[in-house]
Amino acid sequence: MVQNMLSSTRLKEFKSVREDAMDKFINRLKVNAEKNNGVVVVVRDARFAVFCILVVMCFGLEMDEEKLERIDQVMKNVLIVLDPRIDDYLPILSVFFSKQRKRALEVRKEQVDFIVPFIEQRRRAIQNPGSDQTAITFSYLDTLFDVKVHEGKKSSPSNEELVSLISEFLNGGTDTTATAVEWGIAQLIDNPEVQTKLYQEINMTVGDKKVNEKDIEKMPYLQAVVKELLRKHPPTHFVLTHAVTEPTTLGGYDIPTDTNVEVYIAGIGEDPKLWSNPEKFDPERFISKGEDADITGVTGVRMMPFGVGRRICPGLAIGTLHISLMLARMVQEFEWTAYPPGKKIDFTGKLEFTVVMKESLRAVIKPRE
Protein backbone atom coordinates (compact mmCIF):
# COMPACT_ATOMS: atom_id res chain seq x y z
CA MET A 1 0.00 0.00 0.00
CA VAL A 2 2.70 2.48 0.99
CA GLN A 3 5.09 1.80 -1.89
CA ASN A 4 2.65 1.09 -4.70
CA MET A 5 -0.45 3.07 -3.84
CA LEU A 6 0.17 5.96 -1.46
CA SER A 7 3.51 7.22 -2.76
CA SER A 8 3.66 10.83 -3.97
CA THR A 9 4.01 9.63 -7.57
CA ARG A 10 0.92 7.44 -7.42
CA LEU A 11 -1.13 10.13 -5.66
CA LYS A 12 -0.42 12.51 -8.54
CA GLU A 13 -1.82 9.95 -10.98
CA PHE A 14 -5.23 10.26 -9.32
CA LYS A 15 -5.34 14.05 -9.47
CA SER A 16 -8.11 14.07 -12.10
CA VAL A 17 -10.16 11.64 -9.98
CA ARG A 18 -9.96 14.04 -7.03
CA GLU A 19 -10.83 17.05 -9.16
CA ASP A 20 -13.89 15.29 -10.56
CA ALA A 21 -14.97 14.20 -7.07
CA MET A 22 -14.57 17.75 -5.72
CA ASP A 23 -16.75 19.17 -8.50
CA LYS A 24 -19.42 16.57 -7.78
CA PHE A 25 -19.10 17.31 -4.05
CA ILE A 26 -19.68 21.05 -4.50
CA ASN A 27 -22.60 20.38 -6.83
CA ARG A 28 -24.08 17.92 -4.32
CA LEU A 29 -23.89 20.59 -1.60
CA LYS A 30 -25.64 23.09 -3.89
CA VAL A 31 -28.42 20.64 -4.78
CA ASN A 32 -29.02 19.63 -1.17
CA ALA A 33 -29.01 23.27 -0.06
CA GLU A 34 -31.60 24.17 -2.71
CA LYS A 35 -33.83 21.35 -1.47
CA ASN A 36 -33.52 22.38 2.20
CA ASN A 37 -33.56 26.19 2.27
CA GLY A 38 -29.79 26.46 2.28
CA VAL A 39 -29.19 23.78 4.94
CA VAL A 40 -26.75 20.88 4.46
CA VAL A 41 -25.56 17.99 6.64
CA VAL A 42 -21.81 18.41 6.37
CA VAL A 43 -20.47 14.96 7.24
CA ARG A 44 -22.87 13.10 4.93
CA ASP A 45 -21.77 14.88 1.76
CA ALA A 46 -18.12 15.06 2.80
CA ARG A 47 -18.05 11.35 3.53
CA PHE A 48 -19.52 10.46 0.15
CA ALA A 49 -17.02 12.66 -1.70
CA VAL A 50 -14.02 10.99 -0.04
CA PHE A 51 -15.54 7.55 -0.56
CA CYS A 52 -15.95 8.21 -4.30
CA ILE A 53 -12.23 8.98 -4.62
CA LEU A 54 -11.12 5.93 -2.65
CA VAL A 55 -13.41 3.54 -4.55
CA VAL A 56 -11.87 4.57 -7.88
CA MET A 57 -8.36 4.31 -6.40
CA CYS A 58 -9.23 0.92 -4.97
CA PHE A 59 -11.00 -0.81 -7.87
CA GLY A 60 -9.74 1.20 -10.84
CA LEU A 61 -13.32 1.37 -12.09
CA GLU A 62 -15.62 4.33 -12.60
CA MET A 63 -19.02 3.65 -11.03
CA ASP A 64 -22.42 5.31 -11.02
CA GLU A 65 -23.86 6.85 -7.86
CA GLU A 66 -26.15 3.89 -7.16
CA LYS A 67 -23.23 1.41 -7.03
CA LEU A 68 -21.15 3.79 -4.94
CA GLU A 69 -23.93 4.20 -2.39
CA ARG A 70 -24.44 0.43 -2.21
CA ILE A 71 -20.72 -0.22 -1.62
CA ASP A 72 -20.74 2.52 1.01
CA GLN A 73 -23.68 0.91 2.81
CA VAL A 74 -22.06 -2.54 2.75
CA MET A 75 -18.87 -1.12 4.28
CA LYS A 76 -20.79 0.84 6.93
CA ASN A 77 -22.71 -2.30 7.92
CA VAL A 78 -19.40 -4.00 8.67
CA LEU A 79 -18.27 -1.17 10.94
CA ILE A 80 -21.60 -1.06 12.76
CA VAL A 81 -21.77 -4.82 13.40
CA LEU A 82 -18.13 -5.45 14.26
CA ASP A 83 -17.86 -3.34 17.41
CA PRO A 84 -15.56 -4.98 20.00
CA ARG A 85 -17.36 -7.26 22.46
CA ILE A 86 -16.30 -8.70 25.78
CA ASP A 87 -16.14 -12.23 24.33
CA ASP A 88 -13.32 -11.02 22.05
CA TYR A 89 -11.25 -10.86 25.24
CA LEU A 90 -12.96 -13.66 27.21
CA PRO A 91 -13.82 -16.43 24.69
CA ILE A 92 -15.44 -18.46 27.47
CA LEU A 93 -18.36 -16.00 27.24
CA SER A 94 -18.87 -16.51 23.50
CA VAL A 95 -21.89 -18.76 24.10
CA PHE A 96 -23.77 -15.68 25.32
CA PHE A 97 -23.08 -13.80 22.08
CA SER A 98 -24.15 -16.37 19.48
CA LYS A 99 -26.74 -13.99 17.93
CA GLN A 100 -24.14 -11.24 17.49
CA ARG A 101 -21.66 -13.70 15.98
CA LYS A 102 -24.30 -15.00 13.58
CA ARG A 103 -25.14 -11.45 12.50
CA ALA A 104 -21.45 -10.63 12.01
CA LEU A 105 -21.01 -13.67 9.76
CA GLU A 106 -24.11 -12.68 7.76
CA VAL A 107 -22.75 -9.18 7.19
CA ARG A 108 -19.38 -10.60 6.19
CA LYS A 109 -21.05 -12.89 3.63
CA GLU A 110 -23.03 -9.93 2.23
CA GLN A 111 -19.80 -7.95 1.95
CA VAL A 112 -17.91 -10.73 0.15
CA ASP A 113 -20.80 -11.55 -2.20
CA PHE A 114 -21.18 -7.91 -3.20
CA ILE A 115 -17.51 -6.94 -3.54
CA VAL A 116 -16.07 -10.01 -5.30
CA PRO A 117 -17.79 -9.25 -8.67
CA PHE A 118 -15.99 -5.88 -8.76
CA ILE A 119 -12.68 -7.64 -8.02
CA GLU A 120 -13.31 -10.05 -10.90
CA GLN A 121 -14.30 -7.16 -13.17
CA ARG A 122 -10.96 -5.47 -12.45
CA ARG A 123 -9.08 -8.72 -12.96
CA ARG A 124 -10.68 -9.14 -16.41
CA ALA A 125 -9.89 -5.51 -17.30
CA ILE A 126 -6.19 -6.11 -16.58
CA GLN A 127 -6.10 -9.38 -18.49
CA ASN A 128 -7.86 -7.83 -21.50
CA PRO A 129 -6.75 -4.17 -21.80
CA GLY A 130 -9.37 -1.98 -23.44
CA SER A 131 -12.21 -4.45 -22.85
CA ASP A 132 -13.80 -2.42 -20.03
CA GLN A 133 -14.57 1.24 -20.77
CA THR A 134 -15.04 1.99 -17.04
CA ALA A 135 -11.49 0.88 -16.19
CA ILE A 136 -8.70 3.37 -15.50
CA THR A 137 -4.98 2.74 -15.79
CA PHE A 138 -4.09 1.74 -12.21
CA SER A 139 -5.65 0.68 -8.91
CA TYR A 140 -4.87 -0.64 -5.44
CA LEU A 141 -6.20 -4.03 -6.52
CA ASP A 142 -3.51 -4.23 -9.21
CA THR A 143 -0.86 -4.16 -6.48
CA LEU A 144 -2.58 -6.97 -4.57
CA PHE A 145 -3.24 -9.50 -7.32
CA ASP A 146 0.45 -10.46 -7.51
CA VAL A 147 1.26 -10.36 -3.78
CA LYS A 148 2.54 -13.73 -2.53
CA VAL A 149 0.84 -14.19 0.82
CA HIS A 150 1.34 -17.81 1.84
CA GLU A 151 4.71 -18.98 3.10
CA GLY A 152 6.32 -21.41 0.71
CA LYS A 153 3.49 -21.20 -1.83
CA LYS A 154 3.22 -19.10 -4.95
CA SER A 155 -0.40 -18.13 -4.38
CA SER A 156 -2.01 -14.71 -4.57
CA PRO A 157 -4.53 -13.49 -1.97
CA SER A 158 -7.92 -15.20 -2.08
CA ASN A 159 -10.97 -13.15 -2.99
CA GLU A 160 -11.98 -13.14 0.68
CA GLU A 161 -8.55 -11.80 1.67
CA LEU A 162 -8.79 -9.14 -1.05
CA VAL A 163 -12.18 -8.06 0.31
CA SER A 164 -10.62 -7.60 3.76
CA LEU A 165 -7.73 -5.53 2.39
CA ILE A 166 -10.14 -3.40 0.35
CA SER A 167 -12.36 -2.88 3.38
CA GLU A 168 -9.35 -1.69 5.38
CA PHE A 169 -8.39 0.77 2.64
CA LEU A 170 -11.89 2.22 2.17
CA ASN A 171 -12.96 2.40 5.81
CA GLY A 172 -9.59 3.64 7.03
CA GLY A 173 -9.58 6.63 4.69
CA THR A 174 -13.24 7.62 4.52
CA ASP A 175 -14.58 8.32 8.01
CA THR A 176 -11.34 9.79 9.31
CA THR A 177 -11.27 12.45 6.59
CA ALA A 178 -15.00 13.20 6.62
CA THR A 179 -14.96 13.55 10.41
CA ALA A 180 -12.05 15.99 10.23
CA VAL A 181 -13.85 18.08 7.60
CA GLU A 182 -16.99 18.25 9.77
CA TRP A 183 -15.02 19.43 12.82
CA GLY A 184 -13.17 21.90 10.57
CA ILE A 185 -16.35 23.52 9.22
CA ALA A 186 -17.75 23.64 12.77
CA GLN A 187 -14.68 25.60 13.90
CA LEU A 188 -14.90 27.96 10.89
CA ILE A 189 -18.53 28.69 11.77
CA ASP A 190 -17.65 29.22 15.44
CA ASN A 191 -14.67 31.41 14.48
CA PRO A 192 -15.94 33.57 11.58
CA GLU A 193 -12.76 35.66 11.61
CA VAL A 194 -10.78 32.51 10.74
CA GLN A 195 -13.21 31.69 7.94
CA THR A 196 -12.92 35.22 6.57
CA LYS A 197 -9.12 35.18 6.66
CA LEU A 198 -9.04 31.78 4.96
CA TYR A 199 -11.37 32.99 2.20
CA GLN A 200 -9.22 36.06 1.68
CA GLU A 201 -6.09 33.89 1.29
CA ILE A 202 -7.88 31.65 -1.22
CA ASN A 203 -9.12 34.67 -3.16
CA MET A 204 -5.69 36.30 -3.25
CA THR A 205 -4.01 33.04 -4.32
CA VAL A 206 -6.34 31.81 -7.07
CA GLY A 207 -8.76 34.63 -7.92
CA ASP A 208 -11.80 33.36 -9.80
CA LYS A 209 -10.47 29.93 -10.77
CA LYS A 210 -11.14 26.80 -8.73
CA VAL A 211 -8.62 25.88 -6.04
CA ASN A 212 -6.43 22.99 -7.13
CA GLU A 213 -3.79 20.91 -5.38
CA LYS A 214 -0.89 23.09 -6.54
CA ASP A 215 -2.59 26.14 -5.04
CA ILE A 216 -2.79 24.51 -1.61
CA GLU A 217 1.00 24.49 -1.39
CA LYS A 218 0.96 28.30 -1.65
CA MET A 219 -1.51 28.82 1.22
CA PRO A 220 0.23 28.95 4.62
CA TYR A 221 -2.93 29.99 6.44
CA LEU A 222 -4.89 27.02 5.04
CA GLN A 223 -2.08 24.71 6.14
CA ALA A 224 -2.18 26.30 9.61
CA VAL A 225 -5.97 25.80 9.77
CA VAL A 226 -5.59 22.11 8.90
CA LYS A 227 -2.80 21.62 11.43
CA GLU A 228 -4.82 23.35 14.17
CA LEU A 229 -7.84 21.25 13.23
CA LEU A 230 -5.82 18.04 13.64
CA ARG A 231 -4.44 19.28 16.97
CA LYS A 232 -7.91 20.08 18.35
CA HIS A 233 -9.85 17.26 16.70
CA PRO A 234 -7.72 14.22 15.79
CA PRO A 235 -10.19 11.86 14.05
CA THR A 236 -9.33 9.10 16.52
CA HIS A 237 -8.37 9.86 20.13
CA PHE A 238 -6.03 6.86 20.43
CA VAL A 239 -3.40 5.50 18.06
CA LEU A 240 -3.71 1.81 17.22
CA THR A 241 -2.58 -0.41 20.08
CA HIS A 242 1.17 -0.87 20.40
CA ALA A 243 3.00 -3.57 22.36
CA VAL A 244 6.24 -3.36 24.31
CA THR A 245 8.99 -5.63 22.95
CA GLU A 246 11.34 -5.29 25.91
CA PRO A 247 10.98 -4.07 29.53
CA THR A 248 10.97 -0.29 29.78
CA THR A 249 9.88 2.66 31.90
CA LEU A 250 7.23 5.11 30.74
CA GLY A 251 6.05 8.13 32.72
CA GLY A 252 7.54 6.67 35.87
CA TYR A 253 5.85 3.29 35.43
CA ASP A 254 7.60 -0.03 34.79
CA ILE A 255 6.19 -1.60 31.61
CA PRO A 256 6.92 -5.33 31.18
CA THR A 257 7.39 -7.09 27.84
CA ASP A 258 4.22 -7.73 25.77
CA THR A 259 2.17 -5.12 27.64
CA ASN A 260 -0.25 -3.23 25.40
CA VAL A 261 0.27 0.54 25.38
CA GLU A 262 -2.50 2.95 24.36
CA VAL A 263 -1.42 6.49 23.42
CA TYR A 264 -4.04 9.18 24.06
CA ILE A 265 -3.58 11.58 21.12
CA ALA A 266 -6.22 14.09 22.21
CA GLY A 267 -4.51 14.59 25.58
CA ILE A 268 -1.26 15.62 23.88
CA GLY A 269 -3.05 18.25 21.78
CA GLU A 270 -4.76 19.67 24.87
CA ASP A 271 -1.70 19.73 27.15
CA PRO A 272 -1.11 23.27 28.53
CA LYS A 273 2.54 22.35 29.12
CA LEU A 274 2.94 22.01 25.35
CA TRP A 275 0.48 24.60 24.04
CA SER A 276 -0.51 28.14 24.97
CA ASN A 277 -4.27 28.48 25.42
CA PRO A 278 -4.84 24.92 24.09
CA GLU A 279 -8.64 25.09 24.25
CA LYS A 280 -8.72 27.92 21.69
CA PHE A 281 -8.91 27.19 17.96
CA ASP A 282 -6.11 29.44 16.79
CA PRO A 283 -4.31 28.78 13.47
CA GLU A 284 -2.22 31.91 14.09
CA ARG A 285 -0.23 29.97 16.67
CA PHE A 286 1.59 28.29 13.75
CA ILE A 287 2.20 31.53 11.83
CA SER A 288 2.79 34.56 14.02
CA LYS A 289 2.94 33.21 17.59
CA GLY A 290 6.06 31.09 17.35
CA GLU A 291 4.45 27.72 18.06
CA ASP A 292 5.06 24.84 15.70
CA ALA A 293 4.63 21.09 15.50
CA ASP A 294 5.80 18.41 13.13
CA ILE A 295 2.79 16.12 12.63
CA THR A 296 5.14 13.30 11.57
CA GLY A 297 6.89 13.43 14.97
CA VAL A 298 10.37 13.45 13.41
CA THR A 299 11.46 16.65 15.20
CA GLY A 300 9.56 15.96 18.43
CA VAL A 301 6.05 15.03 19.51
CA ARG A 302 3.69 17.90 20.31
CA MET A 303 0.80 16.40 18.31
CA MET A 304 0.42 13.05 16.60
CA PRO A 305 -2.89 12.73 14.72
CA PHE A 306 -1.39 10.01 12.49
CA GLY A 307 0.85 8.37 15.08
CA VAL A 308 4.64 8.57 14.75
CA GLY A 309 7.62 6.42 13.85
CA ARG A 310 7.69 3.29 11.71
CA ARG A 311 4.03 2.59 12.46
CA ILE A 312 2.82 6.03 11.40
CA CYS A 313 -0.44 5.99 9.43
CA PRO A 314 0.32 5.32 5.74
CA GLY A 315 -2.56 7.63 4.81
CA LEU A 316 -0.94 10.80 6.22
CA ALA A 317 -0.24 12.40 2.82
CA ILE A 318 -3.56 11.52 1.19
CA GLY A 319 -5.51 12.39 4.35
CA THR A 320 -4.05 15.89 4.72
CA LEU A 321 -4.42 16.46 0.98
CA HIS A 322 -8.13 15.55 1.02
CA ILE A 323 -8.85 17.66 4.12
CA SER A 324 -7.01 20.68 2.72
CA LEU A 325 -8.60 20.44 -0.72
CA MET A 326 -12.12 19.93 0.60
CA LEU A 327 -11.97 22.78 3.11
CA ALA A 328 -10.48 25.12 0.50
CA ARG A 329 -13.18 24.33 -2.07
CA MET A 330 -15.96 24.54 0.53
CA VAL A 331 -14.85 27.95 1.77
CA GLN A 332 -14.16 29.24 -1.74
CA GLU A 333 -17.66 28.33 -2.93
CA PHE A 334 -19.76 29.10 0.17
CA GLU A 335 -20.05 31.20 3.28
CA TRP A 336 -20.80 28.88 6.22
CA THR A 337 -23.05 29.82 9.15
CA ALA A 338 -24.83 27.97 11.94
CA TYR A 339 -28.23 26.32 11.69
CA PRO A 340 -30.53 27.49 13.13
CA PRO A 341 -29.02 30.99 12.70
CA GLY A 342 -27.26 32.15 15.84
CA LYS A 343 -27.13 28.67 17.37
CA LYS A 344 -24.04 27.93 19.45
CA ILE A 345 -22.06 24.99 18.05
CA ASP A 346 -21.94 21.98 20.38
CA PHE A 347 -18.39 20.61 20.26
CA THR A 348 -19.20 17.49 22.29
CA GLY A 349 -17.85 14.38 20.61
CA LYS A 350 -18.86 10.73 20.65
CA LEU A 351 -16.95 7.62 19.65
CA GLU A 352 -18.10 5.73 16.58
CA PHE A 353 -15.46 4.38 14.18
CA THR A 354 -13.93 7.84 14.64
CA VAL A 355 -14.71 10.57 17.18
CA VAL A 356 -17.62 12.39 15.55
CA MET A 357 -19.72 15.35 16.60
CA LYS A 358 -22.40 14.15 19.02
CA GLU A 359 -24.89 16.28 17.12
CA SER A 360 -24.17 16.02 13.38
CA LEU A 361 -23.36 19.46 12.02
CA ARG A 362 -26.14 21.09 10.01
CA ALA A 363 -25.06 24.36 8.43
CA VAL A 364 -26.45 27.08 6.22
CA ILE A 365 -24.44 27.72 3.05
CA LYS A 366 -24.60 30.87 0.98
CA PRO A 367 -22.85 30.93 -2.44
CA ARG A 368 -20.00 33.46 -2.62
CA GLU A 369 -20.65 36.41 -4.92
Known binding-site residues for heme equal 313
d(CA 54, CA 310): 24
Alpha helices in 191-306 (DSSP H): 192-206, 213-216, 220-232, 265-269
Rg of the chain taking only CA atoms, in angstroms = 22
d(CA 325, CA 53): 13
Handedness of CA 261, 265, 267, 269 (dihedral sign): positive
Three-state DSSP class for residue 357 = strand
Binding residues: 313
Contact in structure between 302 and 296 (CB atoms under 8 Å): no
Contact in structure between 299 and 234 (CB atoms under 8 Å): no
The one-letter code for the residue type at 83 is D
In order of 84, 86, 147, 152, the CA distances from 238 in angstroms are: 15, 19, 31, 37
d(CA 329, CA 332): 5
Buried/exposed code over 235-250 (b: 16+ C-beta within 10 A; e: otherwise): bbbebeeeeeeeeeee
Q: How far is CA 62 from the centre of its chain?
A: 21
Contact in structure between 194 and 283 (CB atoms under 8 Å): yes
Q: Identify the H or E element spanning 366.
A: strand 362-367
The phi and psi torsions of 165 (rounded to 5 degrees) equal: -65, -40
Three-state DSSP class for residue 134 = coil
